[in-house]
Structures are given as C-alpha cells and as structure tokens.
C-alpha cells in the first residue's frame, strides 16, 4: 500500500477493487503518485478476487493535474527521461485486463483528465469539471491526452479543448462523450460506479479480458490487423471453462454460473 495511492476492496461488494488517490488537497499527480499508481494497477491486474476496478479520488476532487511545482524547474533533459515513466503510469491503468471505471467528483484536469481517459468508462458528478489546461503552461498534455481524447470524442473537438485549455462542465462532457453518465448533486459517484460494474462481477472474466484487448488493440492498427486479432482471441476463448459453461447454459435455457476460468 502506497502513501498516496492504495488498492482497496469493498467488504460489502466482493469483486470490486478501488484504486483510491489520497494526496490532499487536490490529488496532484507527482512522481510518487505516478509510481504508486503503476503499482496499484499491477496489483489489480494480478488479483483474481478483483473482477472490476474503480479509480476514485474522493467526493471533493478526482485529480487536478500534475504537480507543477515539481515540474517548474525541470528542463528538456530531465523531462525527456521522465516522460516515458509518466506515460507508463497511466498506461498501466489502461492495460488492466478488467473493466475500469473512473468515478469523477470535483476536478479532473490535466493529468487527472488523462487518468480518467485511461479508464474504460467515466462517471462524473453533475458539478464536475474536466479539461486539458496544459496549453496555458506553455506545454501540451503528456500522459495520453493528445492520443486518447481524439480517439474518444473525435479530433476536431479534442483539438478545441486542448488548444484552448478550457474547463468543460459535466453536462457538456456528457454531450461530447467525454463522460458516459452523470450523478446528481449530493449522490455518491463511488456508489454509482460500483452499481455500474455489477454485470461484470459475475461475468466471464476471460471473455471480458479478450473483448477489452480486441477493442483497444484494434484501435491502434488497420482493420485487417484488428480483424486478425479478434479472430485469434475469439478462437482462444474456446479453450476456457466459461465458454463451456455459457454455451451449455444457453442450450439448457439456464443462467450461466461463470467461474472466470
């Protein structure tokens, strides 16, 4: 368990892992947080008792970006060495082979927005604000924002947000497709995120893993290569116990009891 990031399980909800950011007041993503985030993602990946993951910064703020004080005096040589590690921390979250939901309250700006983009789904409080304000610092997003944001909402909309650096209110973020659902003021985004992952907790874990790998992997290659990846993963699932469980249950008109194997 890290000082600023920890992986928790919920007693009342077996199967859910919560990667919780705890660096008050704004969960600034300094080097320690980045390193601990990568470690937490690795643990969530390896634990069979965790079937879905929620990334959560608390009910006041998700993460308000990088630690600018830490970066202000760094030059090209230092950042050229550090930037790949920053990317790797967020990529570790993106590569968790399970459904991952960002539960966003308050601000998700800069690196905080990029962390949310690394998740499969984003649920936000109705008063949350998201954005990539790096341009106002004379830099650009450096942890996936210029790559994941246009893939999610389209290049022209992504360029407008990145070029202006403006904050996006939750309702606009929903219209843009930057978030997938809003939670009314006064309600818990964590509870909403837990509710959203219920279908995955008893689902076929190997098929969910394969579906995520096929979609994410296919987005980075041409169609023919993506179809080849899908075909390979599709066939591989015929070696799983869950395939047998699912198909036998279908034939028997029964509910499948997947084991995740």
pLDDT the model gives residue 66: 77
Cβ-contact 101, 17 below 8 angstroms: no
Annotated catalytic residue, options 3, 8, 59, 114: 114
Regarding predicted confidence, which is higher, 70 or 241? Answer: 241
Which candidate in 8, 12, 43, 134 is catalytic? 134
Write down the pLDDT at residue 83: 84
Q: What is the pLDDT of residue 71?
A: 80
Residue range 79-113, pLDDT digits in tens = 888 888 888 999 999 999 999 999 999 999 999 99
The pLDDT of residue 3:
92
- Encode pLDDT of 117-170 as tens digits: 999 999 999 999 999 999 999 999 999 999 999 999 999 999 999 999 999 999
Looking at residue 178, the DSSP 8-state letter turns out to be S
In the 3-class helix/strand/coil scheme, how is 25-46 assigned residue by residue?
Answer: CCCCECHHHHHHHHHHHHHHHH
Q: Would you state the pLDDT for residue 74?
A: 83
Q: How confident is the model at residue 38 (pLDDT cuts 50, 70, 90)?
A: very high
Mean pLDDT across 62-67: 86
pLDDT at residue 1 above 80?
no
Predicted pLDDT of residue 81: 85
Q: Which of 107, 120, 110 is nearest to 55 (CA)?
A: 120
Handedness of CA 220, 224, 226, 232 (dihedral sign): negative
Mean pLDDT of the chain: 94
The model's pTM is: 0.94
Does the active-site annotation cover 114?
yes
8: annotated active-site residue: no
Q: DSSP states of 163-176 as a string?
A: HH---EEHHHHHHH
Taking a C-beta distance cutoff of 8 angstroms, is the pair 77, 42 a contact? no
**Is it the case that residue 67 has pLDDT exceeding 80?**
no
Give the per-residue pLDDT at 115: 97
Q: What are the pLDDT digits (tens) for 167-185?
A: 999 999 999 999 999 999 8
β-pairing, 13-21 vs 5-10, is: antiparallel
Instruction: Determine the length of the chain.
Output: 261
* Cα(23)–Cα(28) distance, integer angstroms: 7
Q: Name all domains of the chain by residue range, CATH numbers in brackets.
A: 5-201 (3.90.226.10), 205-251 (1.10.12)
Helix (H) or strand (E) holding 10: strand 5-10
pLDDT tens digits, one per residue of 203-261: 999 999 999 999 999 998 999 999 999 999 999 999 999 999 999 999 999 999 998 88
Which of the 8 DSSP states describes residue 148?
H
| H or E stretch at 123 | strand 121-125
User: Residue 224, CB half-sphere, CA atoms under 13 Å: how many?
Assistant: 0
């Amino acid at each position: 368990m890290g000082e600023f990031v920890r992986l928790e399980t919920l007693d009342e909800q077996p199967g859910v892992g919560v990667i919780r950011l705890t660096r008050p007041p704004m969960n600034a993503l300094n080097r320690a947080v980045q390193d601990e985030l990568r470690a937490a993602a690795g643990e969530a990946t390896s634990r069979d008792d965790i079937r879905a993951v929620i990334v959560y910064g608390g009910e006041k703020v998700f993460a308000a970006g990088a630690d600018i004080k830490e970066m202000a005096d760094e030059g090209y040589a230092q950042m050229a060495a550090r930037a790949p590690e920053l990317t790797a921390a967020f990529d570790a979250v993106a590569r968790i082979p399970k459904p991952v939901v960002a539960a966003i309250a308050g601000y998700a700006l800069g690196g905080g927005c990029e962390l949310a983009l690394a998740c499969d789904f984003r649920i936000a409080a109705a008063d949350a604000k998201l954005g990539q304000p790096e341009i106002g610092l004379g830099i650009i997003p450096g942890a996936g924002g210029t790559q994941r944001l246009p893939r999610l909402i389209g290049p022209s909309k992504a360029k407008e947000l990145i070029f202006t650096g403006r904050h996006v209110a939750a309702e606009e973020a929903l219209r843009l497709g930057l978030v997938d659902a809003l939670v009314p003021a006064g309600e818990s985004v964590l509870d909403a995120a837990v509710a959203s992952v219920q279908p995955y907790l008893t689902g076929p874990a190997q098929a969910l893993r394969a579906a995520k790998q096929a979609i994410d992997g296919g987005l980075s290659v041409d169609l023919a290569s993506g179809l080849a990846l899908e075909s390979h993963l599709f066939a591989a699932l015929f070696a799983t116990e869950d395939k047998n469980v699912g198909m036998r249950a279908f034939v028997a008109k029964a509910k499948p009891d997947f084991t995740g194997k």
